[in-house]
Amino acid sequence: MIARFTDCLRLFSGVFILSLVLAGCSEPPREFNETVFTMGTLVEVTIIGEEEALTDRAYAAILDDFSYMHNTWHPWQRNALARINSLLKTGAPFSLAPSILPLIERSKQLSGQSNGLFNPAIGGLVKLWGFHQDDLEEIFGPPEPAAIGAFLQDMPQMSDIDFKNLTMHGRNPNIHLDFGGFAKGMAVDNTIAHLREFGINNAIINAGGDLRAIGQNGSRPWRIGIRDPRGEDVFASIEISGDESVFTSGDYERYFTVDNKRYHHIIDPRTGYPADQTRSVTVLHSDAATADAAATALFIAGPQQWHSIARTMGIKFVMLIDKAGKVHMNPAMAKRIEFNNRRPDISLSKPL
């Protein structure tokens, strides 16, 4: 995600915030709305019902947060993460940068819960496919099968990273941390926490279509549109209020096409190839980092395995659109989703 500079024009790739007419309100509360390009994506900040001086200060603080996270967490730039990546490969113990520790701790836990499907240690594989580059037009085809096979022989896992206090060491020379599958979620959680420190309780941080919303949109819940993975339109919509994140992983976000075959950026660590059973997965969860990691993991799990992985990850709301366009949902998600045009072919799972 951090490296997605080419995605900048696709403002709301996964979801849209649908504006509502505030029926019964004589004067709608003040709305602050700004969009900035940061961390490789367009981030839209919406704050409801606060004074201008406060929203301006809060927005400036959020811009600082994003620029710090971008500089520190980018997987392919010279930064704290690059230093850790080069030291992890050596196997020798080293002292860990505190700015990266939360990412490593959370992703180790989420990777374990996803049965290794969410695996941020596979940056080397992401690079082999060329998805570390901003410009995918420079990719002319998939990697040699032998190169993928060699990587699979010694597949790095998050469990290959050991740390105690602030000392860390790696146990696999192929480890290269790429937090693209959940850094956006971590960033959104951090900035929501910062907004709350300012006393702001009604807001959305929408990072390129993945968002966390707190409170309400005036007197109404927030209404979020989920994108059709095979079009630009809103496919379905959902209401959220209180504190909830909506994250979507899709095969339309970053891909190249060779001989009419689409090769996208979400790699199945079991095969070394892009996961090929899913078009998109939308996950709702209270915290954005979990929702982000789960959307990536459930995309790879596909229509057969998403239910069991959602359970181990503690996810309660999932909508998966498979490669044939069929919609798989758990009953609690089905109760909340409204389809925009015609009702698609739906497969309802057991409760989560």
Site of interaction with ligand AMP (CB under 6 A):
1, 118-120, 122, 126, 131, 178, 180-181, 249, 253-254, 265-267, 269, 292, 295-296, 300
Min separation Cβ 249 and ligand AMP, Å: 3
Q: Which is nearer to ligand AMP, 114 or 217 (CB)?
A: 114
Residue 113 CB burial class (10 angstroms; 0-12, 13-18, ≥19): buried
Backbone angles phi, psi at 7, to 5 degrees: -80, 0
Query: In this structure, what token pair is assigned to residue 197?
Result: 């420190």
Of 257, 256, 315, give the one whose Cα is nearest residue 117: 315
236 binds, among ligand AMP, Mg ion, none (CB under 5 to 8 A by kind): none
Helix, strand or coil for residue 163? strand
Question: Which residue from 295, 310, 313, 318 is in contact with Mg ion, where contact means CB under 5 A?
Answer: 295
Question: Which residue from 119, 278, 296, 330 is in contact with Mg ion, where contact means CB under 5 A?
Answer: 296
Query: In this structure, what token pair is assigned to residue 76?
Result: 């392919």
User: Is 292 among the residues that bind Mg ion (CB under 5 A)?
Assistant: yes
User: Is 200 among the residues that bind Mg ion (CB under 5 A)?
Assistant: no
Min separation Cβ 68 and ligand AMP, Å: 20
List CB contacts of 56: < 8 A, sequence separation 6 or more. Answer: none
Task: Using CB under 5 A, count the residues that bind Mg ion.
Answer: 4
Min separation Cβ 63 and ligand AMP, Å: 22
Q: Which is nearer to ligand AMP, 308 or 341 (CB)?
A: 308
Helix, strand or coil for residue 247? strand
Task: Report how far residue 273's alpha carbon sits from residue 266's, in angstroms, rounded to the nearest whole number.
Answer: 8
Q: Which is nearer to ligand AMP, 110 or 240 (CB)?
A: 110
Q: Which is nearer to Mg ion, 1 or 168 (CB)?
A: 1
The amino acid at 320: L
Q: Which is nearer to ligand AMP, 158 or 234 (CB)?
A: 158
Tokens 């995309």 correspond to 299
User: Is 181 among the residues that bind Mg ion (CB under 5 A)?
Assistant: yes
Min separation Cβ 197 and ligand AMP, Å: 26
**∠ Cα 247 251 256 (to 5°):** 140
Angstrom distances, CA of residue 130 to CA of 51, 229, 256: 46, 22, 10
Min separation Cβ 293 and ligand AMP, Å: 8
Min separation Cβ 57 and ligand AMP, Å: 30
| Cα atoms found within 13 Å of the Cα of residue 218, Cβ hemisphere only | 16
Q: Name the site residues for Mg ion (rule: CB under 5 A).
A: 181, 292, 295-296
